[in-house]
């Protein structure tokens, strides 16, 4: 292992992919530094995404449960929301999680460098087994003082994350906001228009709807979560409407008018066969949640010769290697599912691959398999999915005799108690290269209460290729929401228990 550099590995970005790579690399004995422009580690997820939004959703569900308590014979009302206390609760949750991460990084001996990577270059004369990179780091305020710190390393991990994507020719403003701006609102809006139909859009729609806001959601295709299983999309669309959210499908935004004061008017078209109808809607706030763009447009990406696709995502192999030797990438910059837990696992795989390259650990890291990554939407109701849809499995040459089994969540006692609805879809198939092999589960798609907690079991079944017959014999505690997956597996195996 080279000793002439400041570090064995420098990681640019301290989000889930970056900090997991740092923790694992340090655990394996590598000298590690992380460059982060935010004051604290954690990236978008911990500071502006996963953690603060779920804290608000947890609070909003308390409001929702209070308003629905009458169905249980409990007289309860929500008199007011203390937005100051709610803000303190959200910030306190974030602070606790971030402080825990910061302490863990210090304990592992990871050096945190507060600043922005303005340059990444190969040191002249360093080749092959003596590769050296220099990372130029400036203060995050734009280098007003002109002091630049340069650190060197044998390996560099790019974990610069992503940023909210604006609508074409419509920049973000006081009234047209992204998810970061939505989190910083001093109070819940009276009415809001959400453009988008993915996880971020649905979570904010559910959050604001539970808090009493009038919510209009403009979806581009036939329903929300249009890239998911068709039943999941249809069920989620129906359930959001049932909760009072105005879901408008087949829309295309043409313009947004904003005034001096807070408020905006959204102009959009609604497709109707071969024709379209022009409509407009006004709201206090417009949230644009149409996806995120990778942070790969700094000049040093071109200077180093890193290969990117037309959307800006870095080209990597299964272990995160880019086309440039000893430069790796994890997280949102690599395309695929933009999820914290995917980036987290990628970080571990990259750290172990670097350790193997440095001959300090007898490891055999495995690539992260996209099809086993759980996707969860913390909306009301929740949605969760692992693996392939029926159409995807039928188009995949690895599988034959694809079958789809549907179980209604109202057949589950715990779901019945909540008054909610949903479904579980199990996709099973036989490996095409071995007709005698047992049938396996290749996809699970769920809508309903607490399905986020069931997604981990689905991942284990799919990721470990457990035969359907064995998976169906797993025992689930009674009465729990998890029994719904157990019943769906039994039905898929041809022996339904609590249903015909």
Annotation-wise, does 162 bind a ligand? yes
- Known catalytic residues are 478
Say whether the peptide bond before residue 381 is cis (omega within 30 degrees of 0). Answer: yes
Task: Give the whole-angstrom CA distance, residue 1 versus residue 306.
Answer: 25
SS3 at position 29:
coil
pLDDT computed for residue 470 by the predictor: 97
Is 309 annotated in some ligand binding site?
A: no
Q: What is the pLDDT of residue 77?
A: 79
Is 54 annotated to bind a ligand? Reply is: yes
Closest to 441 (Cα-Cα) out of 482, 409, 480, 469 = 469
Q: What share of the chain is helix, strand, coil (3-state, %, to 5)?
A: 35, 25, 40
The tens-digit pLDDT sequence of the chain (500 residues) is 445 789 999 999 999 999 999 999 999 999 999 999 999 999 999 898 889 898 888 888 888 888 777 888 888 877 778 888 888 999 999 999 999 999 999 999 999 999 999 999 999 876 666 789 999 999 887 655 568 899 999 999 999 999 999 999 999 999 999 999 999 888 899 999 999 999 999 999 999 999 889 999 999 999 999 999 999 999 999 999 999 999 999 999 999 999 766 799 999 999 988 889 999 999 999 999 999 999 999 999 999 999 999 999 999 999 999 999 999 999 999 999 999 999 999 999 999 999 999 988 789 999 999 989 999 999 999 999 999 999 999 999 999 999 999 999 999 999 999 888 899 999 999 999 998 899 999 999 999 999 999 999 999 999 999 999 999 999 999 999 999 999 999 999 999 887 76
Reading the block at residue 145, the tokens are 């003082």
Say if residue 432 carries a ligand binding annotation. no
Fold agreement between 7-48+89-161+295-358 and 164-290 = yes
Cα→Cα distances 55→14, 162, 207, 221, 490, Å? 21, 22, 10, 30, 35
Quick count: other Cβ atoms within 10 Å of Cβ 61?
15
CB 245 within 8 A of CB 215: yes
Ligand-binding site membership of 332 (annotated): yes
What six digits make up the tokens of 13? 């970005």
- 425, 457 in Cβ contact below 8 A? no
Protein fold of 164-290 = FAD/NAD(P)-binding domain (3.50.50)
Query: HEC string of 467-498?
Result: EHHHHCCCCCCCCCCCHHHHHHHHHHCCCCCC
380 is in an annotated binding site: no
- β-strands 149-158, 133-138 pairing: antiparallel
State yes or no: 203 annotated in a binding site: yes
For the chain, domain boundaries: 7-48+89-161+295-358, 164-290, 381-493
In eight-state DSSP terms, residue 226 is T
What is the predicted pLDDT for the residue at 2?
45
Query: DSSP H helical segments within 249-308, as ranges?
Result: 299-304
Half-sphere exposure for 45 (CA within 13 Å, toward CB) = 24
Query: Please, what sign has the CA dihedral across residues 118, 121, 16, 198?
Result: positive
- For 443, residues 6+ apart whose C-beta sits below 8 A from its C-beta are 229, 385, 386, 387, 388, 389, 390, 392, 393, 425, 426, 427, 462
What residues have CB less than 8 Å from 372, skipping those under 6 apart?
386, 387, 459, 462, 463
Residues constituting the chain: 500
| β-bridge pairing 214-218 and 423-431 | unpaired
> CA-CA distance, 399 to 412, in Å (whole number)?
30
pLDDT at position 242 is 94
Residue 221 annotated as lining a ligand binding site: no
Alpha helices in 262-408 (DSSP H): 299-304, 340-357, 390-395
Span 7-48+89-161+295-358 CATH architecture: 3-Layer(bba) Sandwich (3.50)
- The predicted structure's pLDDT at residue 61: 84
For 381-493, CATH gives: 3.30.390.30
498 phi and psi, to 5 degrees?
-95, 30
Is 291 annotated as belonging to a binding site? yes
Tokens of 32: 């590690």
The answer on whether 146 is annotated among ligand-binding residues is: no
Tell me: is residue 200 an annotated ligand-binding position: yes
198 is in an annotated binding site: yes
d(CA 343, CA 295): 15
């Amino acid at each position: 292992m080279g000793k002439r550099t400041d570090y064995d590995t420098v990681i640019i970005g301290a989000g889930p992919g970056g900090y997991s790579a740092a923790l694992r690399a340090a655990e394996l004995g590598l000298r590690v530094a992380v460059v982060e422009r935010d004051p604290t580690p954690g990236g978008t997820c911990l500071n502006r995404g996963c953690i603060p939004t779920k804290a608000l959703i947890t609070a909003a569900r308390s409001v929702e449960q209070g308003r629905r308590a009458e169905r249980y014979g409990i007289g309860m009302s929500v008199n007011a929301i203390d937005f100051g206390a709610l803000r303190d609760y959200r910030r306190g949750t974030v602070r606790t999680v971030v402080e825990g991460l910061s302490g863990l990084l210090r304990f592992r001996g990871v050096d945190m460098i507060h600043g922005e990577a303005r340059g990444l270059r190969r040191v002249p004369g360093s080749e092959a087994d003596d590769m050296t990179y220099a990372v130029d780091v400036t203060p995050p305020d734009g280098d007003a003082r002109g002091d630049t710190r340069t650190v060197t390393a044998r390996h560099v991990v790019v974990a610069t994350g992503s940023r909210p994507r604006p609508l074409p020719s419509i920049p973000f403003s006081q009234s047209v906001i992204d998810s970061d701006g939505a989190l910083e609102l001093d109070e819940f809006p009276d009415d809001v228009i959400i453009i988008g139909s993915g996880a971020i859009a649905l979570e904010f729609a559910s959050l604001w709807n539970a808090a009493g806001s009038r919510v209009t959601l403009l979806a581009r295709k036939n329903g929300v979560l249009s890239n998911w299983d068709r039943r999941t999309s249809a069920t989620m669309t129906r359930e959001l409407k049932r909760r009072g959210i105005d879901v408008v499908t087949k829309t295309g935004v043409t313009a947004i008018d904003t005034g001096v004061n807070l408020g905006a008017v959204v102009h959009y078209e609604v497709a109707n066969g071969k024709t379209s109808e022009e409509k407009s809607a006004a709201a206090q706030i417009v949230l644009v949640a149409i996806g995120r763009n990778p942070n790969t447009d700094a000049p040093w990406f071109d200077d180093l010769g890193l290969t990117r696709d037309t959307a800006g995502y870095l080209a990597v192999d299964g272990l995160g290697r880019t086309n440039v030797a000893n430069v790796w990438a994890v997280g949102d910059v690599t395309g695929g599912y933009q999820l914290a837990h995917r980036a987290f696992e990628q970080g571990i795989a990259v750290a172990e691959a670097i350790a193997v390259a440095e001959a300090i650990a007898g490891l055999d890291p495995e690539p992260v398999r996209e099809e086993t990554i759980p996707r969860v939407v913390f909306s009301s109701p929740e949605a969760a999915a692992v693996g392939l849809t029926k159409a995807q499995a039928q188009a995949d040459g690895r599988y034959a005799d694809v079958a789809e089994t549907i179980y209604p969540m109202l057949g589950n006692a715990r779901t019945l108690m909540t008054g909610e609805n949903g479904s579980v879809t199990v996709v099973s198939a036989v490996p095409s290269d071995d007709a005698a092999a047992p049938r396996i589960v290749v996809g699970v798609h769920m809508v309903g209460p607490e399905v986020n907690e069931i997604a981990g079991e689905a991942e284990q079944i799919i990721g470990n290729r457990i035969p359907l017959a064995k998976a169906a014999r797993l025992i689930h505690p009674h009465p729990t929401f998890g029994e719904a997956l157990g019943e769906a597996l039994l039905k898929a195996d041809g022996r339904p228990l609590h249903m015909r």
